């Protein structure tokens, strides 16, 4: 029975197993190389590719839980696995192409091991259905990201950022653990399905439950850098090398969202009681008296407003992107307020789109810092004429992040706002759109410096290798194409959220 269960689980666990093996292989192979090599990077890529392959084999697997209801294998986790692998893959490439890391005197072997560990943590975060599992997965990905943030310690400032990250992470995961213990105390189980069953069958003390939810939100909020758990974000993003920043802003965030969605939708789903509200729409039932979507709405509005308003004042491109990514998390949370398949699939769509545009923006920033040795926006004057391809791509990413039509970002925003409006949250949608206007200001500021101002001093063309251009286009083209043909993506997202059985 026990062996059967574990063997059965393992047969559906190949992607994660491959990633684990990859970590071990990298740690082992590293022993044979005294000098800085790229071998581990290639191993990491191979591991990710193999994991991708085996993930694809799971495409039509029926939703189920394995390992004694610890981990789910379902379309929802599948979606996030694909995102995480894609992001991991791109980050490895970024690392190869980043001068910042190439010129660093540190060996990069463990870097790749930790990168894969973070991806593995993300996989488990997206698929765990047990609170204990969830916490451990979170810790795995957090621990890896702490180290990655401080890996290439260039200055005191970046060490300080890493330390800040650890402390914030420690506190919020502690709070989350406390929330978990409260929920366990209330429901007598760590299993999300059991919690859901208990909550729908028994009266519980709502204040205690709400406190538990707040404490849990601390953990999630820290992972997706939502206000008020965002304080670490700008410093860590600025202090870490660019590929790591990109990784934190995409992989880590996506995994956090996956965990957030699954926790709320599974544990707090009053299964089997859909009703029809006055608007004739099926609405998701929350626990009586416990309006957690409203709590999320407040957090979402605070997050995007703060992110956008503070981003206006930033001169450092990395810091600006950090605040912009805080704001982007706000938009995604906005969709979560609408607890309907439409809202959640809009969120997933946005995440997929966000992957391309945000990684693209970071890659462009990497190239700019490679070639122009600057992260300051004011020093990027006129570079649009010196390296047109780079800057036009950057323009595409910026416009997409701000949600201009014909880019993927518009589609993401369109889906989010239609979900909001369809469910009667018109004012929330308006706040979101006003935020988009504010965000335009700083995205345009970058374009202004790149294109509208004449270059000063050196005006020669600056070109870069074919590999860079290919990768840049590989990110820019989807950003545009997904803005026109997005049917498959949205279908995929809708299919992924079906398992929650929302009406």
Which CB atom, from 298 or from 452, has the smaller least distance to another protein? 452
Per-residue exposure over 99-115, b if at least 16 CB sit within 10 Å of its own CB, e if not: ebbeebeeebbbbbbbb
**CA-based diameter of the chain, in Å?**
74
Distance of CA 421 to the CA centre of its chain: 25
Provide the token pair at 101.
């890391």
**DSSP-H helix ranges across 128-191:** 131-149, 156-187
Kindly report the backbone phi and psi dihedral angles of residue 484, in degrees, each rounded to the nearest multiple of 5, phi listed first.
Answer: -115, -45
- Cβ closest to another protein, residue 13 vs residue 268: 13
Site for another protein, residues 286 to 345, rule: CB under 8 A: none
If the CB atoms of residues 10 and 56 are measured against another protein, the closer one turns out to be 10
Among 18, 23, 92, 299, interactor with another protein by CB under 8 A:
23
* Interface with another protein: number of residues (CB under 8 A): 76
**Helix H segments across 313-340?**
317-337
Contact code string over 126-155 relative to another protein, x by CB under 8 A: ----x-xx--xx-xx--xx-xx--xx-x--
The residue range among 349-357, 359-367, 438-446, 473-481 that interacts with another protein, by the rule CB under 8 A, is 438-446
CB of 272 to another protein, least distance (A): 26
Binder of another protein out of 286, 422, 463, 498 (CB under 8 A): 422
| Binding test (CB under 8 A) with another protein, winner from 286, 418, 463, 498 | 418
> Interface residues for another protein in 243-282 (CB under 8 A)?
280
CA–CA separation, 294 and 416 (whole Å): 17
For residue 68, the minimal CB distance to another protein (Å) is: 5
Choice from 433, 462, 477, 499 touching another protein (CB under 8 A): 433
How far apart, in whole angstroms, are the C-alpha atoms of residue 283 and residue 267? 17
CA-based nearest residue to 348, from 243, 340, 326: 340
Q: Which of the ranges 48-56, 125-133, 194-202, 297-305 carries the binding residues for another protein, by CB under 8 A?
A: 125-133
| String marking each residue 176-195 x if it binds another protein according to CB under 8 A | ------x--xx---------
Could you say which residues in the range 450-469 bind another protein, by CB under 8 A?
A: 451-453
Asked, as a colleague might, if the bond just before 228 is cis with ω within 30 of 0, I would say yes
The answer to whether the CB of 502 falls within 8 A of the CB of 340 is yes
Nearer to another protein, 174 or 501 (CB): 174
- Enumerate residues 6+ apart whose C-beta is below 8 A from 206: 287, 289, 290
Encode burial over 428-442: b for 16+ CB neighbours within 10 A, e otherwise: bbebbeebbebbbeb
Minimum CB separation of residue 394 from another protein in Å reads 14
Instruction: Give the interface segment with another protein, choosing from 203-211, 292-300, 351-359, 364-372 (CB under 8 A).
Output: 203-211
The residues, any chain, with a CB within 8 Å of residue 403's CB and separated by 6 or more, are 409, 410, 412, 413, 436
Query: What is the residue whose two structure tokens read 């502690």?
Result: 174
Show the site string, 206-245: x = touches another protein by CB under 8 A, - = not.
-xx--x---x------------------------------
Q: By CB under 8 A, is residue 430 in contact with another protein? A: yes
* Shortest reach from residue 3's CB to another protein, in Å: 11
| Interface segment toward another protein; rule CB under 8 A; list 52-60, 93-101, 249-257, 428-436 | 428-436
Pick one of 84, 113, 398, 489: the residue that binds another protein (CB under 8 A): 113
By CB under 8 A, what part of segment 373-402 binds another protein?
385, 399
Of 406, 470, 473, 481, the one binding another protein by CB under 8 A: 406
The nearest distance, CB 460 to another protein, in angstroms, is 14
d(CA 5, CA 10) in angstroms, rounded, equals 9
To another protein, the closest distance from the beta carbon of 168 in angstroms equals: 14
| Positions 55 through 94 that interact with another protein (CB under 8 A) | 67-68, 70-71
Tokens read off for 369: 């810092």
Of 53, 61, 298, 437, the one binding another protein by CB under 8 A: 437
Tokens linked to 116? 């894969």
Structure tokens at 180: 């978990």
Q: At closest approach, how far in Å is the CB of 412 from another protein?
A: 13
Packing angle of the helix pair 75-97, 466-481 (nearest 10 deg): 150
Say which residues have a Cβ less than 8 Å from residue 89's Cβ, sequence separation at least 6.
45, 48, 49, 52
Q: How far is the CB of 77 from another protein (least distance, A)?
A: 15
User: What's the rounded Cα separation, in Å, for the pair 442 and 327?
Assistant: 12
């Amino acid at each position: 029975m026990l062996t059967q269960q574990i063997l059965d689980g393992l047969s559906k666990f190949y992607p994660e197993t491959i990633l684990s093996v990859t970590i071990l292989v990298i740690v082992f192979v590293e022993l044979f190389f005294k000098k800085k090599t790229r071998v581990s990077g290639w191993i990491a890529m191979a591991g990710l590719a193999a994991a991708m392959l085996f993930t694809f084999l799971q495409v039509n697997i029926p939703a189920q839980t394995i390992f004694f209801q610890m981990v789910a294998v379902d379309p929802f986790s599948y979606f996030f696995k694909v995102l995480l692998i894609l992001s991991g893959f791109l980050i490895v490439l970024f690392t190869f192409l980043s001068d910042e890391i190439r010129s660093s005197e540190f060996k990069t072997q463990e870097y790749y091991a930790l990168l894969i560990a973070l991806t593995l943590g993300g996989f488990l975060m997206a698929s765990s259905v047990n609170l204990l599992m969830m916490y451990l997965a979170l810790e795995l990905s957090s621990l890896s990201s702490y180290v990655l943030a401080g890996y290439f310690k260039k200055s005191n400032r970046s060490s300080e950022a890493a330390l800040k990250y650890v402390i914030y992470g420690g506190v919020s995961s502690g709070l989350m653990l406390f929330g978990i213990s409260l929920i366990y105390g209330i429901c007598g189980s760590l299993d999300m399905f059991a919690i859901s069953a208990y909550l729908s069958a028994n009266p519980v003390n709502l204040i205690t439950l709400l406190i538990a939810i707040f404490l849990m939100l601390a953990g999630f909020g820290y992972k997706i850098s939502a206000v008020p758990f965002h304080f670490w974000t700008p410093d860590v993003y600025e202090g870490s090398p660019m590929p790591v920043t990109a990784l934190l802003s995409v992989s880590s965030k996506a995994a956090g969202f996956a965990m957030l969605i699954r926790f709320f939708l599974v544990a707090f789903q009053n299964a089997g009681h859909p009703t029809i509200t006055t608007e004739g729409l099926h609405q998701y039932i929350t626990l009586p008296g416990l309006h957690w979507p409203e709590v999320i709405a407040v957090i979402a509005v605070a997050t995007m407003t703060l992110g956008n308003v503070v981003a206006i004042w930033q001169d450092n491109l990395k810091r600006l992107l950090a605040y912009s990514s805080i704001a982007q998390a706000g938009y995604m949370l906005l969709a979560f307020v609408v607890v309907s398949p439409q809202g959640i699939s809009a969120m997933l769509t946005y995440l997929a789109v966000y992957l391309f545009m945000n990684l693209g923006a970071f890659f462009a920033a990497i190239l700019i810092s490679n070639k122009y040795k600057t992260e300051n926006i004011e020093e990027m004057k006129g570079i649009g004429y010196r390296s047109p391809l780079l800057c036009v791509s950057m323009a595409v990413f910026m416009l997409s992040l701000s949600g201009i039509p014909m880019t993927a970002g518009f589609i993401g925003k369109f889906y989010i706002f239609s979900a909001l409006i369809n469910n009667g949250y018109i004012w929330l949608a308006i706040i979101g759109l006003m935020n988009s206007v504010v965000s335009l200001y700083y995205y345009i500021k970058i374009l202004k410096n790149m294109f509208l101002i004449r270059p000063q001093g050196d005006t020669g063309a600056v070109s870069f290798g074919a590999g860079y251009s290919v990768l840049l286009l590989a990110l820019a083209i989807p950003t545009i194409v997904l803005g026109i043909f997005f049917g498959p993506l949205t279908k995929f997202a809708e299919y992924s959220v079906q398992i929650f059985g929302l009406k």
